[in-house]
Homo-oligomer: A and B are copies of this chain.
Amino acid sequence: MPSNILHMIKNDLLLRALKGEVVERPPVWMMRQAGRYLPEFIEIRKKYDFFTRCQTPELASEITVQPIRRYGMDAAILFSDILVIPQAMNIEVLMKPDFGPFIPNPIRNAKDLEKVVVPDVNESLDYVFDAIKMTKEILNNDIPLIGFAGSPWTILCYIVQGQGSKTFDKAKEFCFKNPILAHELLSKITVTTIAYLKQKVNAGVDVLQIFDSWGGLLSPTDYSEFSWQYINQIIEELKDFAPVVVFGKGCWFALNEMSKSNASALGVDWTITARNARYLSGGNITLQGNLDPSRLLSSKSKIKDLVNNMINDFGKDRYIVNLGHGILPNIPLENVEVFINTVKEYKA
């Protein structure tokens, strides 16, 4: 039996919001809260490279709890990367400083695809499960721990393109010229991701989030075909083990379809109003978001107003306060504090 049975978590605001229960105030956490804007993280980054930080449970768990110590968010999210999945699938992934992910041998044809394996996640990703166990011990069931994965489409984007991109034109070219190969690759990623997330829950995570960072590059029809159907497979396989949150950046057009799934919550970016997000998602599912991360560069009083208005607009229930995408590296620490504390002090 996993150690994370619900009643053991002392601050269960997030879990209750995911179940749609009435709460005294919405829970708050921030995408990428463990990382680049924190001086204590930057200290660690000076000493260890990216994948060393991911692969060393002591480092990953320390980084995970750093923002909690400083700000007391209502959830921790395990420090890791979506690209540990393709690494485990026999695809070399490098993280180049000031450049981002780099895949020396991107997947472009049937021969490349043959080399892609569906791994035994217990073997190749054991360091993630160790980091989860270690983090759960440190957190001492004070707050829930979120584990995440990239959507199969978003992972395909990187491993076909070979690096980050504004348009992921090579990834789309691969899908539109070779749809059969693309679906084979997406299926392999999906099977791996399901096994990976199941083991994450076994190791102790309380909530799962799927990041579809590049779903918004697709038309609604192509999104259903190349992204959503695989995310939905993951939800169906995981829904009985942990609540699943789906964040599709730029995927407002799919909110209606998503809201009919067994996801427990949907993340939205800042280009949609709370009213439209509620309308498109049918009004019942828990929503998460959506302050423009750049808005944390505003004055403190402006941030306070924006956060209070956001909670009023989404409503305090069935709502998780977050940014509309990951926090930026150049956000002043005291502005993060204003963001978190405004939520904690919220009175309906």
User: Which residues of A are in contact with B by a Cβ distance under 8 Å?
Assistant: 164, 166-167, 169, 172-173, 176-177, 216, 218-220, 222, 250, 252-253, 270-273, 276, 292, 294-295, 297-298, 302, 324, 328, 330
Q: List, sorted by A's number, 9 A–B pairs whose CB atoms are closer than 8 Å.
A: A166-B166, A176-B297, A176-B302, A177-B298, A220-B271, A220-B272, A222-B292, A250-B250, A252-B252
Q: How far is B276's CA from A276's CA once the two chains are assembled, in angstroms?
A: 13
Bound together, the chains give a CA A261 to CA B271 distance in angstroms of: 21
CB distance from A168 to the nearest CB of B (A): 9
Residues of B within 8 A of A219 (CB): 270-271, 292, 295, 324
Q: How many copies does the complex hold?
A: 2
Instruction: State in angstroms the CA–CA spacing of A169 and B327 once bound together.
Output: 11
Residues of B within 8 A of A273 (CB): 220, 253
Q: Quick one: which of B166, B173, B271, B302 contacts A294, CB cutoff 8 A?
A: B173
Q: How far is the CA of A270 from the CA of B169 in the complex (A)?
A: 14
Q: Are B328 and A169 in contact (CB under 8 A)?
A: yes
State the CA gap A272–B276 with chains docked (Å).
15
Task: Among B166, B177, B330, point to the contact of A169 (Cβ < 8 A).
Answer: B330
Let me know if A173 and B297 touch, CB within 8 A.
yes
CB-CB < 8 A to A173: which residues of B?
294, 297, 330
A276 and B294 within 8 A (CB): no
The residue in chain B whose Cβ has the minimal distance to the Cβ of A324 is B219
Q: Are A294 and B176 in contact (CB under 8 A)?
A: yes
Closest 3 CB pairs of A and B: A172-B294, A219-B270, A176-B298
Inter-chain contacts of A216 with B (CB < 8 A)? 271
A255 to chain B, nearest CB (A): 11
Give the distance in Å from the alpha carbon of A220 to the alpha carbon of B292 in the complex.
11
12 further A-B contacts with Cβ under 8 Å, apart from A166-B166, A172-B294, are: A167-B328, A169-B294, A173-B330, A176-B297, A176-B298, A216-B271, A219-B295, A220-B272, A220-B273, A222-B292, A252-B253, A253-B272
What is the chain B residue whose CB lies nearest that of A170?
Answer: B330
Measured between alpha carbons, how far is A167 from B249 in the docked complex, in Å?
13
Nearest B residue to A325, CB-CB? B167
Q: Which residues of B contact A270 (CB under 8 A)?
A: 219
The closest CB in chain B to the CB of A171 belongs to B294
Distance, CA A177 to CA B300, complexed state (A): 11
Distance in Å from the Cβ of A206 to the closest Cβ of chain B? 30
Query: Bound state CA distance, A250 and B253, in angstroms?
Result: 11
Chain B residues within 8 Å of A220, by CB: 271-273
Residues of B within 8 A of A177 (CB): 297-298
Using Cβ atoms and an 8 Å threshold, which residues of chain B touch A276? 253
In the bound complex, what is the Cα–Cα distance between A276 and B219 (angstroms)? 12
Instruction: Judge whether A295 and B253 touch: CB under 8 Å.
Output: no
Point out the residues of chain B lying under 8 angstroms from A176, CB to CB.
294-295, 297-298, 302
